[in-house]
Amino acid sequence: MTPETFCEHFLKFQRRRGNVRSAHNTFRPLPEDAFAEFSLETADRRLLTEVGLPVGTAGMWTFDWSSDWKPARPLLPLDDLKRTRLARNELAGAPVGPRYRRYRVLGTNDDYEPLCLDTKTGRIVAFGPPEDAAPSSEPEEQLVNSTVRSLCRSILAVEALLEHGDAGRCRETIRADDPAAVEDGRSPWNRVIRWLERASAGATLTSAEPEPHPDSALWEHAKLGQVVDWTVETDRLRRFSRCGWNKRHVGEHLHPTFADGGRPLRPPAGERFRPTRRPRRSFEPQPIELEIQLPEGASEPSPAQTAALDTLFRQEMAILEAIGRSFQLDLRRGNLRDGAERQLGADADSLFALLDDPALVLSLVRFKKILVSPHTRGEIAVIGADGDCALDDEHGFGVQFAGNHVFEIGHATVGWSIYER
């Protein structure tokens, strides 16, 4: 696999799907001096320095080390993550210690797991939580690929999966090149393939639905696709979809239910209170219903609404960070501790460890709907989001924001009761 071949084939897949971008805007090559401290096979070094890895892939992996929420310099030692902005967000749980300095960060996936180059072996590995891991658990090392060359071939195999739709064929293509990459059913590539397989099945079902009524309003959006009557269900807001992985578990322990005679129903008898720092592998992201509420008398979204949508997709992580911080401040004004300690006892400390981390507090919120309102703040429309919340199973959670500025937070009604101000 030469750098030129990888670049050519990846761009071909992208352009067939309508993503017309230059190689300069698609790949992030690493500087030669990034390899000054260690040796790497020539073929692997050439791939990383002459072309680089793509900013984003069909595997939901991001190799954009220049992004403002990634390490400030390429191939940062994994142990140094604690000295970066990552110490205050998703990757704060990355392992630290002298033995991890051999790993250099290439990027992350949508589970916020760092993907690294092992400088001693040349392997590509991810660090993710063990199944049912507690917040304090040490992340486990998971093999992604045996070499950089195999990583690039696997990326192309998954890009091809989006065209032919055959998960088995994709898995066999990867296995033929790098058997260890798919040997474990829980391996990162197997998880990616299963996710894309489910998404492909959903797309097939959607395409088989009846055509929209002739009187339906149709609108095309680059990220959302065809929007019918200003409402669409989307899985493209991946980070909103992946919030709430602790919602069910924490909610059941805070608000238990019992059968007649006092037999516990939820949580199951004997289940320990163990919220996690990252989604369990059994966690299923859910699509978000998105509605556009047109301005009065309008036949299509206003420029302020299209700007709000563009910002929502472009700054999704920054928006969620702002929502998490605002949620923290709102919780501090309440009196949550007494009730939590009565229900959870000593385990209440595990709950408050989540609430003290803005990257984890939204693990308690399962977003269901986003509303793009006709009302504006400056040049951008106000957006509302609502969903279920582990801390309030009756009233839920709602928030209003414009861009990445949050200005109201509360019960679910806040997410859809948006008025002119």
Specify if 337 maps to a domain.
yes
Specify if 205 maps to a domain.
no
- pLDDT tens, 184-223? 877 888 888 887 776 655 443 333 344 555 556 778 887 7
- 247 and 354 in a single domain? The answer is yes
Average pLDDT, the chain: 80
- 41 and 156 in a single domain? The answer is yes
Domain boundary among 200, 229, 264: 200
- pLDDT tens, 36-55? 777 788 999 899 888 888 87
- pLDDT for position 68: 39
Contact indicator for 382, 401 with CB cutoff of 8 Å? yes
- 359 and 254 in a single domain? The answer is yes
Query: What pTM did the predictor assign?
Result: 0.60
Q: Tell me the backbone φ, ψ of residue 349, rounded to 5 degrees.
A: -60, -35
Specify if 299 maps to a domain.
yes
- 10 and 143 in a single domain? The answer is yes
- 48 and 196 in a single domain? The answer is yes
- pLDDT for position 58: 60
Domain boundary among 200, 226, 244: 200
- 57 and 170 in a single domain? The answer is yes
- 296 and 190 in a single domain? The answer is no
- pLDDT for position 184: 82
**pLDDT reading at 282 higher than 80:** no
- The amino acid at residue 236 is R
- pLDDT for position 223: 76
Domain boundary among 173, 200, 227: 200
In sequence order, what DSSP letters do the residues of 242-284 get, joined into one string?
T--TTHHHHHHHHS-EE-TTS-EEESPTT------SS--TT--
Domain count, the chain: 2
- pLDDT for position 88: 37
The predicted model gives 392-409 an average pLDDT of 92
- pLDDT tens, 70-129? 443 455 666 555 444 343 334 444 555 667 778 888 887 766 677 888 888 899 998 876
Strands 114-118 and 103-109: antiparallel
- 193 and 224 in a single domain? The answer is no
- 48 and 154 in a single domain? The answer is yes
The predicted model gives 167-183 an average pLDDT of 92
In terms of phi and psi (left: phi > 0; alpha: psi -120 to 50; beta: otherwise), the region of 223 is: alpha
Q: Which residues form the domain of 78?
A: 3-200
Contact indicator for 30, 49 with CB cutoff of 8 Å? yes
Separation CA 172–CA 160 (nearest Å): 13
**Cis (ω within 30 of 0) for the bond into 267?**
yes
- Grade residue 171 by pLDDT with cuts at 50, 70 and 90: very high
- 225 and 90 in a single domain? The answer is no
Specify if 153 maps to a domain.
yes
- pLDDT for position 21: 60
- 265 and 309 in a single domain? The answer is yes
Specify if 211 maps to a domain.
no
- pLDDT for position 257: 86
Separation CA 237–CA 289 (nearest Å): 10
Q: Tell me the backbone φ, ψ of residue 209, rounded to 5 degrees.
A: -70, 160
User: What is the Cα 197 distance to its own chain's centre?
Assistant: 17
- 360 and 259 in a single domain? The answer is yes
- pLDDT for position 279: 83
User: How far is CA 154 from each of CA 9, 150, 203, 343, rounded to the nearest angstrom?
Assistant: 12, 6, 23, 48
Closest CA to 365 of 342, 393, 387: 387
Specify if 212 maps to a domain.
no
Specify if 193 maps to a domain.
yes
- pLDDT tens, 370-383? 999 999 998 899 99
18 vs 245, higher pLDDT = 245
- pLDDT for position 130: 60
Which of 60-69, 230-239, 264-273 bottoms out in mean pLDDT, i.e. has the lowest? 60-69
What residues contact residue 150 under an 8 Å CB cut-off, 6+ apart?
124, 177, 178, 181
Specify if 207 maps to a domain.
no
